[in-house]
Amino acid sequence: MSTEIESPAGSPLRLFYALRPGTGPRDAMARFAARRDAEFAASRVPAANYHVTVAFVGNVPAERLPALLSIGAEIRAARFQLSFEALEYWPKPEVVVAAARSIPPALQALWDDLHARLAKCEFALAPKRLRPHVTLARKISQAPVPAVMSPLLWEVSNFSLVRSHLGGTHPAYTVVDTWPLLDKC
């Protein structure tokens, strides 16, 4: 599913590897966020932007894109299920997130493998630790009223290399390529 990437001459590409939810989990998160509309309606992240960042690569020259595509294609990782059980406010980035309380071993293995391959190819990496979450709202200066969140389950069957286009109210994301996760590894 490789997408042709165009970039103005000399402009770097802002890239990251991510897990993107299917319509069921995405819609469930969007419904939960909509119920909190009074607290963060103006800053709610569009459901189409929901994702879990596995490795943020950052700004890279377009000529390094083939290396990133190759790394994605080489990964052999198992499918897994993520459960988001908590609504959290993170004051430093001023975001509200749906957070996973536990990390499935298959997700940790994917993160470790991806980060090791990227480091070997001398890509600077973030985050430095795995903290699975989906950002629901940005630019929230005050913590929202605590809310109970029923677990939202997500069957993760693939991962993607995504390009981020900054500007406007929210970044726009373009999937560059997607790779399947395996039934067993």
Report the predicted TM-score, pTM, of the whole model to 2 decimal places: 0.89
pLDDT mean over 14-33: 94
Domains and CATH numbers, the chain: 13-180 (3.90.1140.10)
Give mean pLDDT, residues 68-74: 98
9 or 110, greater pLDDT: 110
Residues 132 and 103 sit within 8 Å (Cβ to Cβ): yes
In this predicted structure, what is the pLDDT of residue 1? 45
Q: How many CB atoms lie within 10 A of CB 50?
A: 23
| Average pLDDT across the chain, whole number | 88
Ranges 46-50, 74-78, 125-129: which has the least confidence:
125-129
pLDDT at 146: 76
Mean pLDDT of all residues in 132-159: 89
Q: How many CB atoms lie within 10 A of CB 110?
A: 25
pLDDT digits (tens, 9 = 90+) for 83-122: 999 999 999 988 999 999 999 999 999 999 999 999 999 9
Does residue 46 or residue 145 have the better pLDDT?
A: 46
Terminal Cα-to-Cα distance of the chain (whole angstroms): 23
Report the distance separating Cα 29 and Cα 12, nearest Å: 32
| DSSP per-residue codes, 123-164 | ---B-SS---EEEEEE---SPPPP-----EEEEE-EEEEEEE
How many CA within 13 A on the CB side of residue 19?
28
The token pair at 83 is 């459960």
pLDDT of 64 higher than 50: yes
| Alpha-carbon distances, residue 104 vs 5, 24, 43, 79 (angstroms) | 32, 20, 30, 10
54 within 8 A of 75, measured Cβ to Cβ: no
